[in-house]
Amino acid sequence: MACMCLSMQVYADCGSVITPSQAATKAANGDQGTYCIEGYVVSTVDIYCKTSTYENQSFMMADAQGGAPVFEAWRVVGADHTIGIGSFVRIVDATLKMYGDVAETKAGFTVQIISEVPTVVNLPEYGSELTASEAVEICMSLPYHDQPTEDMFVVSGYANSVVDINPENGIQTVYIADERGTGYIFQAWECQNIKNINGDYMPIEEGDFVYITGHLSRYNKNSQIKGGYVSRYAVDPFVVRVSADPDQGYATISGKYEFTLADMNDVQFTLTAIPEPGYEFVMWIDPQFVNPSDPDAATGMQVAETILQWYNTVTHFSEEQLQEYLAEEGMDMDTFEKTVALIDKIIMPETTLDIYDLEAWLSLNGINDQSVLYFMPVFRPVQEGIDNVQRGNVQSTKVIENGQLYLKYEGRMYDVQGAVVK
């Protein structure tokens, strides 16, 4: 979307060429003469595209590359928006003036790029989370007018102003800053609200801490994500933590483990529980329900048994029993199905969870307004005489190889002491 510029192949003859410093001095002394000014671009001020009224660009000039800005080329015509910081340019037949303390050209003169130095923008890693200030700094280094980056980012901050664009479709424009109530520095322009687990839009309100996901871009002096996604503080980043009793086994985690609803289905992580010899995995629970110092508190095994008992009961309901149960508990079918599907996963020693599983985990454990989620694997001693162990829809079977008895369970082979063989 770069704007077209005048031909850079032929340069106008200038009878009187001066530096930006000389131009600034002349303007300060009231000189209204016409000059050609040659110097280096050290910063851009405003950028306008061919679709705008002025079809022009403004920037600050210095005598040397990287020098102090001393003169403004104000709304000069003909510069396209690939002009880079450090480019050596000529302003043709410019009339000088002062605007307050700033020496500048009048509008409408032609800029010619004599030697261009392309602007290089070093973007952070794809998908990085940025503060509003960090996003502004990156956007203002972009050389294009309203040209979005190819990479997507997450920008977080406080919503200090909100405009409903299309509430029915969850479209809002949200203005954010690093601190609540301090104006705004970054725009989420016509962004889509994220839906909650029930499929309802979650509109942004002033004061919310929000996450904006999309492509960074610059529009004049504004930094923005246009047409991205926005979610509110109620879905702070989920940080997943795992723990395990070292005497019974240990747990590992792989994949991305800190993310927001804005990531939607793109984020998954895998929990893996490895039993020590003599133990077997039972299921994953939230360790906040286990307090060994309190003799009256439920142990991990008791919590697991309670969940498994519920699971084994409701999965054997008839349709009529299920409807009666939902009515009694005030539970909708969607929540019920998600909870059952989650338990299907957490009774597996190695399980991959996504953002919807995390919301079901919150519901299962009755957790409200918590962004750090904990998963603890429950182990128990291997029960002697295990033949066919039914757990959910998974069954272990006997396998005899080379005269030895093994149990095949959930894709792994165990010896009679419960150690993983393969």
Task: Give the model confidence (pLDDT) of 174-225 as tens digits.
Answer: 999 998 888 889 999 999 887 665 567 878 888 888 888 888 888 767 889 9
Same domain, yes or no, for 227 and 344? no
**Is the dihedral angle over the CA atoms 36, 40, 45, 47 positive or is it negative?**
positive
Above 80 in pLDDT, residue 388?
A: no
7 lies in a domain?
no
Per residue in 112-170, pLDDT tens? Answer: 888 776 656 678 876 678 899 999 988 887 765 556 776 778 898 999 999 999 988 88
Alpha-carbon dihedral sign for residues 248, 254, 257, 262:
negative
Q: What is the mean pLDDT of the chain?
A: 77
Q: Are strands 372-381 and 238-242 parallel, antiparallel or unpaired?
A: parallel
Does the pLDDT of residue 392 top 60, yes or no?
no
- One domain for residues 416 and 324: no
Are residues 303 and 409 both part of a single domain?
A: no
For 209-240, the DSSP string reads: EEEEEEEEEEETTEEEEES-EEE-GGGPPEEE
Give a yes or no: residue 366 inside a domain. yes
Instruction: Considering only residues 47 and 413, tell me which one the structure prediction assigns the higher pLDDT.
Output: 413
CA dihedral 169, 136, 76, 39 (to 10 degrees): -160
Same domain as 249, residue 135: no
pLDDT of residue 234 exceeding 50: no
DSSP-assigned beta bridge partners for residue 189: 226
From residue 331, give the alpha-carbon distance in Å to each of 335, 336, 337, 359.
7, 7, 10, 15
Is residue 84 within 8 Å of residue 143, measured between CB atoms?
A: yes
Task: Look at residue 152 and tell me if it is in a domain.
Answer: yes
What's at 202, amino acid-wise? Answer: M
User: Is 371 found in the same domain as 247?
Assistant: yes
In sequence order, the 6+-apart residues with CB closer than 8 A to the CB of 62 are 20, 39, 40, 42, 68, 69, 70, 71
Residue 328 included in any domain: yes
Same domain, 260 and 375: yes
Tokens 């529980």 sit at which residue? Answer: 273
Q: What are phi and psi of 168, to 5 degrees?
A: -60, -35
Q: Which pair of tokens denotes residue 286?
A: 């939230």
Residue 12 lies in a domain: no
Decide if 90 contacts 11 (C-beta within 8 A): yes
CB 217 within 8 A of CB 245: no
- The yes-or-no verdict on residue 76 having pLDDT over 90 is no
User: Which pLDDT score, from 0 to 100, does residue 410 have?
Assistant: 60
Three-state DSSP state, 345: helix
Determine the structural domain holding residue 98 and report its residue range: 17-115
pLDDT band at 358 (very low <50, low <70, confident <90, very high): confident
Name the token pair of 60: 């600050």
Give me the residue label for tokens 């102090």: 68
**Tokens encoding 82:** 């690939």
DSSP state of 95: E
Place 417 in a pLDDT band, splitting at 50, 70 and 90.
Answer: very low
Which residues partner with 99 through β-bridges? 102
Q: Which residue has the higher pLDDT, 266 or 134?
A: 134
Q: What are phi and psi of 81, to 5 degrees?
A: -95, 20
Can you tell me the distance from the alpha carbon of 80 to that of 400, in angstroms, rounded to the nearest whole number?
A: 76
Verify that 375 and 419 share a domain, yes or no. no
Query: Domain tally for the chain?
Result: 4
Full-model pTM: 0.41
